[in-house]
Structure 1
Amino acid sequence: MPRLLLAPMEGLVDDVMRDALTRAGGYDHCVTEFIRISGSLLPVRAYTRVSPELENGSRTKAGTPVRVQLLGSEPACMAENAARLAGLAPAGIDLNFGCPAPTVNRHRGGAALLDEPELLFEIAAAVRRAVPKGIPFTAKMRLGVRDATRAVECAQALADGGAEELVIHGRTKLDGYRPPAHWGEIARVAEQVKVPVVANGEVWKPEDWQRCRSESGRGDVMIGRGAVADPFLARRIRGDAPPSSEACWTELLGMIAVYWQRVLTKLEPRHCPGRVKQWLLLLERNYPQATQMLAQVRAERDPLRFEAMLRCHGVPLAEAA
């Protein structure tokens, strides 16, 4: 079976969401949100904060390997931090050249560097020298800043610099997350690089996965927001989803319970309801029950009252003592 990878999604998929989605099953590995590298050697806690899985053999509680992603534009500093990260035995180290966020791009990070293939090569080569061969070293990129005219050049620069595999998101920086994803452009780039390429972008359903593979010519696919909108998407693709929508929702209620309890241990209580609402906003693409739940809890900010409302909607949370 071709690989299914869980994408890094800043502000959406942290270690708590990775735990939930990999418990649902079906992913071969996942990648953390980016760790911003800017002018200094970060302490170990900077890596374990973003990837607590480093203290669990670089795996989620369900056993899915977790690769750690770095973002920055200074080759020497990126290499120095990659070497420190390598000492923590991650399941892999990934470089981010795909983030389209203006706040990141203004500081020469993410997809903004896709106009500078020479710099991409320098960063990849510096990090390659710093990372032992036994640790997978990969990179994620978009098709370009404004268009895809330099996509091949950028992909070749990363591969020539030592990246062992590339994930290509089928949109430019300016495209943001607006559909469609241009899977055919991924095929064009992949045909001209010497390393494996994974396709990424706009996969929400098994039918999208099939079309993505067909148009990109890639066997392996990385799934982003579609994984959060349907935690059983990877299992659907593999033919192993719960047998009915009711069974899916029942299992999801248990996942929401675990997610809520873990969020409470990580964040200040006042921030916790917002995290569940964010998930419900995506879940309602596939589950009418999520729409009903969100309509009831949307205005509630008090954690205790919010938890009581979750319980009323069937989320299996124990009553407070």
Structure 2
Amino acid sequence: MILLAPMEGLLDHMLRDVLTRVGGIDRCVSEFIRITDMLLPNRVFTRIVPELLAGGRTPAGVPVRAQLLGSDPVCMAENAARLAELGPEGIDLNFGCPAKCVNLHRGGAVLLDEPELIARIVAAVRRAVPAHVPVSAKMRLGYLDDSRTLECAHAMVGAGAAELVIHARTKADGYKPPAYWDRIAAVREAVDVPVVANGEVWTAADARACKAQSGCEALMLGRGMVADPGLALAIRSPDAAPLAWAQLLPLMQDFFAIVRTHIATRHQAGRLKQWLHYLRRRYPEAEEAYLRVRTINAPDELQVALFGAPALS
């Protein structure tokens, strides 16, 4: 099982669409939907997870689990119930976001210091949605340290989470290497639900090492998949031919076409250059292209510079 991670501001429905066309991904998780003190209208859920309007799947047919983030059990449950009516593949709960602005408002990884509250949130959501809708949770090893990893994992599973994704770093670790895959092993051995390992998997060799150290067969890919869209296929089959730059260019062009229909003109070039920046890690051609277009902000000019032709009207 290979999951595609949520990445706020990067791995949204537009990039999910294109990356799942490549193959190798079994399920996606959406960026978080922030729950505060109100019942959100359907349009908020479908704006962040437009796949809800298409049977909860990407255009390539890959199911998408919608993710909620918040700290009020009652409000989380009410919104989960409404979300469940829209037909997601499942509902995921975010206890891993390390962003300071999120943590300051009692969301994401900061809740890993409050396992009792985590249990109340998971239990409330599990009660609020139909039994056939899976409820899962994503966590880090901890907030400032990993002293409560098992306590938090037991809180989630005991309250009804049917799967855990564990990012193998604390909030304090941020995204700095390394990821401590071996520390996931204790959780996998302690709970009786599937555990998915996440963090710092950039190559097929990383995936093998992560599986060996964590004991997990399932992985969640984030930045590694953005940098190398063929990574999931390479993990599944070591003999798979790498995705060539010539194969990637049409996908990038499709991505830019989607971007140009969904976001404001002033942000369009930035979104394509953002992905191109990640691709520099894997493709020498991306490095050359990025240096060539990094000062271009006009979408039409960028279209011609990268792809050699204006967009089709």
Bin for the TM-score computed over the shorter chain: over 0.9
Q: Which residue of 2 aligns with 1:233?
A: 231
Equivalent residue in structure 1 for 2:25, among 24, 27, 44 = 27
Q: Does 1:208 align with 2:206?
A: yes
State, as a whole percentage, how many aligned pairs show the same letter. Answer: 56
Q: Aligned with 1:180: secondary structure?
A: coil
- Give 3-state SS (helix, strand or coil) of 1:204's partner: coil
Amino acid at match of 2:24: G
Q: Distance in 1 between matches of 2:228 and 2:55?
A: 27
TM-score with structure 1 setting the length: 0.95
Match of 1:60 in 2: 58
Deviation of 1:194 (Å):
2.2
Of residues 191, 194, 209, the one that matches 2:192 is 194
Which structure 1 segments of 5+ residues have no match?
none
Task: Give the corresponding residue for 2:114.
Answer: 116
Q: Secondary structure at the match of 2:94?
A: strand
Is it true that 1:168 corresponds to 2:178 in the alignment? no
**Mind listing any 5+ residue stretches in structure 2 that lack a counterpart?**
none
Q: Give the superposition deviation at 1:14.
A: 0.6
In the alignment, what sits opposite 2:73?
Answer: 75
Distance 1:181 1:240, change over 3 A: closer
Q: Work out the CA distance in 2 between the residues paired with 1:286 and 1:89.
A: 36
Partner of 2:178: 180
Partners of 1:220 and 1:301 in 2: CA distance: 39
Aligned residue in 2 for 1:102: 100
Contact kept, 8 Å, 2:300 with 2:310, in 1: the verdict is no
Counterpart CA distance in 2 for 1:320 and 1:30 is 29
Name the SS for the 1:143 alignment partner.
strand
- Alpha-carbon distance in structure 1 between the residues aligned to 2:58 and 2:238: 20
* Structure 1 residue 185: Cα displacement: 0.6
Q: Is the 8 A contact 2:142 2:149 kept in 1?
A: yes
1:202–1:131 Cα change, 3 Å: same
The residue type equivalent to 2:14 in the other structure is: V
Residue deviations 1:165-219, cap 9 Å, x none?
A: 1001000001110011101110012211222111111000000000000000011
The question of whether the paired residues in 2 share the 8 Å contact of 1:242 and 1:248 is answered with no
Q: Distance in 1 between matches of 2:238 and 2:209?
A: 20
TM-score by length of 2: 0.98
Shift of 1:311: 2.2
Root-mean-square deviation (Å): 1.3
Does residue 92 (structure 1) correspond to residue 90 (structure 2)? The answer is yes
Confirm or deny that 1:128 pairs with 2:126: yes
- Determine whether 1:266 maps to 2:262: yes
